[in-house]
Amino acid sequence: MKFPQNSAPLIHLYSRNGVQVHMKREDLVHPEISGNKFWKLFYTIQNYQNEKKEKPLIITFGGAFSNHIAAVAKVGQLENIPTLGIIRGDELEKNWQKNPTLKLAHENGMNFRFVNRETYRNKESLSEKLLAEFPQSCIIPEGGTNDFAVKGIQHMLNFETEQFDYLCSAVGTGGTLAGISKFCKENQQVLGFSVVKDLEQKKLISQLSGKRNFELVDATFGGYGKINEDLIYFINSFKKEFKIQLDAIYTGKMMQKLQMMIDENYFPQNTKIVAFHTGGLQGNFGVNLQLTKKKKVLLNLEH
């Protein structure tokens, strides 16, 4: 993999209750390998390519609407490496073509294996079996979080981000926040907006970053992947005001919770905040698919 030609612009969003909020647009680094996914995969893929395997294969894991699955498929296409996605939910095997994420991943060359949820949960055993079957493969964990991913996240930080008191990111598997925590300046505080209930999350992030300069904020709003009308209204209003599309699983919940915290005077006066837009916008098509089935208000995805 090569460094992207595009940079992630830093923009001022608003000032509210004496707090300045900026956004770093990592979603613009690459049109299809979205946001933090690019940086999380960067060194993993680069290291694997250096091994020069005779029969290269990238294997990874994800759910039906996984940003990580979509990103790995595109990386494989661009780097000419075959990819195999281990997909949670064997019920998807017969109708995956109707799923926008899996359809896109397949168009980018990814093959699939669908496994039931019980088998999927035991990824250590599953990975061992896959490595025995494909001994020259690169097996990337769900979400891409490993030591290489943490190393890659350092490229989301630069001289521009050094001016901020708080660095904010949505948290799923924890790799992105671990990288921000590890490579930020000593005087900076890191806030992770957790969109999934995981009691081991804080421990894992500490292990990966080697630091404890971060706090986790509950931004699940009912649970991972749970979406209510307030969130849809917030995302659509945010887009109308700032001309920026958020996703409903990660950045939408982060920005909604951040605004609530500012309104509740969580931050001291004159605080400067930067929130990282980590992409994941392809997942919005899957969200609207589910909302349509439930006859709910949809995300506005028009350009």
Q: Measured between alpha carbons, how far is 29 from 285 in angstroms, rounded to an integer?
A: 20
Decide if 66 is catalytic.
yes
* Catalytic member of 66, 169, 194, 209: 66
* H helical segments located in the chain: 36-50, 67-79, 100-107, 117-121, 123-133, 147-153, 175-183, 201-209, 229-242, 251-263, 283-293
**What φ, ψ does residue 116 adopt, rounded to 5°?**
-70, 165
3-state secondary structure of 216: strand
Burial class (CB in 10 A: 0-12, 13-18, 19+), 52: exposed
Whether 190 contacts 213, CB under 8 Å:
yes
> Buried b / exposed e across 5-43, counting CB within 10 Å, b at 16+?
eeebeeeebeeeeebbbbbbbbbbbbebbbbbbbbbbbb
Give the active site residues: 66
